[in-house]
A = this chain, B = another copy of it.
Amino acid sequence: MTISRVRIKDEQGAKAMGKPIGYYVTLEVPRLKEKDPDLTEEVSKNLADELERMVEIPRDATVLVVGLGNWNVTPDSLGPKVIEKLIVTRHLIQHMPGQFNTKKGIRPVCALAPGVLGITGIETGDIIRGIVEKVKPHMIIAIDALASRSMERISTTIQIADTGVYPGSGVGNKRMGITRETMGVPVIAIGIPTVVDAATMANDTLDMLIGQFTRQATPGSDFYKLLEELDKDEKHKLIREVMRPFVGELVVTPKEIDALIDNAAKTLAGGLNLALHPGIEYHEVSTFLQ
């Protein structure tokens, strides 16, 4: 497992990286898709550490965890599956403050899997905003399955950022982000790539092939020049055109996607439970992950 941490501090950095200002952590775990209780434990603990590094959460802060995505579409069900495995305590602390005590390292955690726009007819941002106004959490953690831009990342990386998240791509043009600006509280986004869109994958493969051809071509030859001149954007545009009948419908994904999502959900829930309830041992946490 390798961990990379990147902080983009200003607009200049944001431009250079092509990402908003913020703090980004990536856990690369090549064996993430394997069922291995020891690995689940190790990654959970590292995830908890990174969350604690990223943001300071007061001992008695109420945290709202949001599981984005669609229950009924396997590659999209990561968020709701994490919610299922969380140790949710807000209601217990409210009703039995003696027994469930924030001093003992149990924070008031609540959670929601709001569904997707196509099923609810309501902007996900509006649903969460409505709940934020009732629950008044100290922060939001949003979990989502990601469409990766690279085949290598599928279910091998956990991506964390303090920049919030923009759910789905819907009928309207301007989707409401789930960010500190719209929600009024910090929003941490955690995601795992579960699919690559088919056009991206075709593009990646072509790039790898061109790399091979270039190494084999005689420098100075027509072919060499042609390969050098293939403009990146042009090429991607051409691919999209050729694949138009399929793009947006087809995704590239591991065949064992059901098992993979299950495993990834355990790892994320494990890390969240540890980070949010420092008073609970991993041993006890693991009973919630089964």
Contact = CB atoms under 8 A, between A and B. Distances in A.
Contacts of A129: 130, 134
A151 B121 CA distance: 32
A36 to B, nearest CB: 6
Interface string A83-110: 1100011111011100000000000111
Classify the secondary structure of A's interface with B.
helix
Interface stretch (A5-13, A52-60, A177-185, A199-207): A199-207
Interface string A255-278: 111110011001000000000000
A281 interface: no
B251 A254 contact: yes
Interface stretch (A20-28, A42-50, A157-165, A235-243): A235-243
A151 B221 CA distance: 35
Contact of A76 (B109, B243, B255, B288): B255
Nearest to A230: B213
Given A74-B258, A127-B131, A212-B242, 15 more contacts: A37-B287, A88-B120, A91-B121, A110-B122, A112-B114, A112-B127, A130-B130, A151-B246, A151-B250, A195-B255, A201-B201, A205-B206, A205-B242, A223-B223, A251-B253
A232 interface: no
B257 A74 contact: yes
Contacts of A205: 202, 205-206, 239, 242-243
